[in-house]
Amino acid sequence: MTSDNVRLAHEKSIREGTLKVLNRLEAGRQSLRSILRDYRAENAIITTIFAGIEFLSISIIRFRNTIDFYLSRGSGPLNKKKLPSSTRNLLRIAIYQFYWTNVPLSVIIDYLSQLDRQCIPIMKRIGQVDIGKALARLSNEERLSIDLSHPTFLVRTMLDNLGENETIELLADNNNVPSSYIRPNLLLSTPEIIEEMNEIDGIDLESNPVEKGIFRILTGLSQIVKSVPFASNKVLIQDKASYLTARVLDPKPGEFVWDACAAPGMKTQLLWELMKQEGRLVATEINPARYQVAKDRSKDLGLEDVEWRLEDASKNPVENADKILIDAPCTSTGMVRSHPSYKWRLNKKSLFSIMTIQNKILEGVLSAYSRSPGTEIVYATCSILPHEGESQIDSVIDRYNVELVDIPELDRAGYTDFACSKKVRRLFPHTHRTDGFFVAKMRIMP
Ligand SMILES: C[S@@+](CC[C@H](N)C(=O)[O-])C[C@H]1O[C@@H](n2cnc3c(N)ncnc32)[C@H](O)[C@@H]1O
């Protein structure tokens, strides 16, 4: 085959694979990540083709609102809901390739003619859409929701809490691929491992740590993932916000620390490292499958002496701890750069049910420790919603014998207009180059 033919065959395999992935996603039983994992396991495909399928399907989910807006304009009388799911997904691929990656319309029409001829007139109409004109007729909130591809609820909440300019910056940055960070696992290695990694061909790490022991990966993420130090857990990839959150608890050697919502155990590893493996660290997790994976992986990370327990953190399973980390389950709306599908699964019902769990854990811990003055508790979520941050803290702070502790190491206060605003902290993708996180630190008073 000529190199042109090889390229065309690759492009065809990527389109077909992406179509299968999107069709499975539409069936609604699995997350995008697990569909991609299964697809790779079931199909003998080369790495570059799988990477292409992964990139294309994640990009289409990332820009789903905008793509579907084009689709609804182009499908005209054929209401998009009446199109078979597979036709709709094929058109989503075509729209993304036409508007985002500049594939010529003639090339797109050519492949549509081989796969599903009814797409051709629709795609021709889509190719004529004047999006600027179409968006101009919408309200501000709807326009941002389509232009920046986020659900209207998220747009409205951000407009209320960040104002228009910053909302646009945040939502636009949410559509970028995130920065990745690497740190040495000091339970199994030394700080020098980072210099060694930097010597590997293709890997470029920012020369200074961005925050004490964590480095931004400038290039070479795929080489790192294939490297021996990564495979043997001597280096770890972790978002900077997740790393900083665990540091805010500031555990010391010899203390008794409880990591209340611990799986998969990334913060547990850091807590034990900061404790210099002295003292007692109990990690609890309610989900049996996640507990088992975290417990097994824990040994590979160098955490032999950490006690893992399958427990509900809201039911006071660990007494007498000096410091407690509640890294609560949440909507993960701070992580939509790496997991764009998280923004589309957000709805009132799921938000209220997750808020109830957060509140139960927070109240359970605060009431169990209300007679243990001095105990320090960090509550965190990887969410940009005030419902899972400031509102949760405001709902408990006056009802328990607890004070908010300053967090000078993080620079940005919480959303305004909450009682806790000045003392709590937020990290954002567009300002901190991290996942979006909320962090509050409390101390039980005498
Ligand atoms: C955000 S994740 C924790 C991430 C982890 N701290 C890390 O850094 O790797 C939240 C975890 O809390 C667990 N969880 C939810 N409800 C819980 C409860 N009532 N008690 C203990 N764990 C809970 C979830 O199953 C999930 O694994």
Joined together, the tokens standing for residue 179 give: 């920065």
Joined together, the tokens standing for residue 227 give: 């490297």
Closest CA to 224 of 206, 242, 198, 243: 198
CA of 413 to the centre of ligand 1 (A): 25
Contact call for residues 103 and 81 (beta carbons, < 8 A): no
pLDDT band at 209 (very low <50, low <70, confident <90, very high): low
Mean pLDDT for the stretch of residues 343-366: 96
Residue 146 identity (one-letter amino acid) = I
pLDDT band at 44 (very low <50, low <70, confident <90, very high): confident
Distance CA 351, CA 360 (A): 14
Among left, alpha and beta (phi > 0; psi -120 to 50; other), residue 317 is: alpha
- Asked whether the predicted pLDDT for residue 240 surpasses 60, the reply is yes
Considering the chain, what is the average pLDDT of its residues?
Answer: 94
Pick the residue with more confidence: 188 or 74?
Answer: 188
Backbone angles phi, psi at 310, to 5 degrees: -85, 100
Q: Percent of the chain at pLDDT above 90? A: 89
pLDDT at 210: 60
CA of 325 to the centre of ligand 1 (A): 11
CA of 290 to the centre of ligand 1 (A): 9
Dump pLDDT digits (tens) for 108-147: 999 999 988 989 999 999 999 999 999 999 999 999 999 9
pLDDT at 28: 77
pLDDT band at 3 (very low <50, low <70, confident <90, very high): confident
- Residue of minimum CA distance from atom 27 in ligand 1: 263
pLDDT at 47: 87
Closest CA to 266 of 360, 345, 155, 187: 187
Instruction: Pick the range with the lowest mean pLDDT from 143-157, 208-222, 236-250, 357-371.
Output: 208-222
pLDDT band at 29 (very low <50, low <70, confident <90, very high): confident
Could you give the angle at the alpha carbon of 231 between the alpha carbons of 230 and 236, nearest 5°? 35
Kindly calculate the radius of gyration of the chain based on its CA atoms and give it in whole angstroms: 24
Dump pLDDT digits (tens) for 153-172: 999 999 999 999 999 999 99
- Asked whether the predicted pLDDT for residue 80 surpasses 60, the reply is no
- CB under 6 Å to ligand 1: residues? 242, 260-267, 284-287, 290, 312-314, 327, 329, 357, 361
> Tell me, what DSSP letter sits at residue 318?
S
pLDDT at 78: 60
The pTM (predicted TM-score) of the whole model is: 0.94
CA of 131 to the centre of ligand 1 (A): 42
pLDDT at 83: 86
Mean pLDDT for the stretch of residues 23-42: 90
- Asked whether the predicted pLDDT for residue 5 surpasses 90, the reply is no
pLDDT at 426: 98
Mean pLDDT for the stretch of residues 28-56: 91
Q: Percent of the chain at pLDDT above 70? A: 98
Distance CA 429, CA 155 (A): 16
Atom of ligand 1 nearest to the CA of 290: 27
Distance CA 27, CA 44 (A): 23
CA 30 to chain centre: 17
Mean pLDDT for the stretch of residues 318-327: 98
- Asked whether the predicted pLDDT for residue 291 surpasses 60, the reply is yes
Could you give the angle at the alpha carbon of 422 between the alpha carbons of 314 and 175, nearest 5°? 80
Mean pLDDT for the stretch of residues 298-325: 97
Mean pLDDT for the stretch of residues 391-399: 96
pLDDT at 7: 87
Residues sharing a CB contact under 8 Å with residue 242, sequence separation 6 or more, in sequence order: 266, 267, 382, 435, 437
Distance CA 443, CA 409 (A): 17
Contact call for residues 60 and 35 (beta carbons, < 8 A): no
Among left, alpha and beta (phi > 0; psi -120 to 50; other), residue 249 is: alpha
pLDDT band at 2 (very low <50, low <70, confident <90, very high): confident
pLDDT at 79: 59
Contact call for residues 341 and 31 (beta carbons, < 8 A): yes
- Asked whether the predicted pLDDT for residue 326 surpasses 70, the reply is yes
Instruction: Please state, in angstroms and as integers, the Cα–Cα distance from residue 326 to each residue in 268, 307, 376, 409, 412, following that order.
Output: 11, 16, 11, 19, 20
Closest CA to 126 of 78, 76, 88, 56: 76
- How many CB atoms sit inside 10 A of residue 61's CB? 22
pLDDT at 120: 94
CA of 264 to the centre of ligand 1 (A): 8
pLDDT at 445: 97
Question: Hey, is 304 helix, strand or coil?
Answer: coil
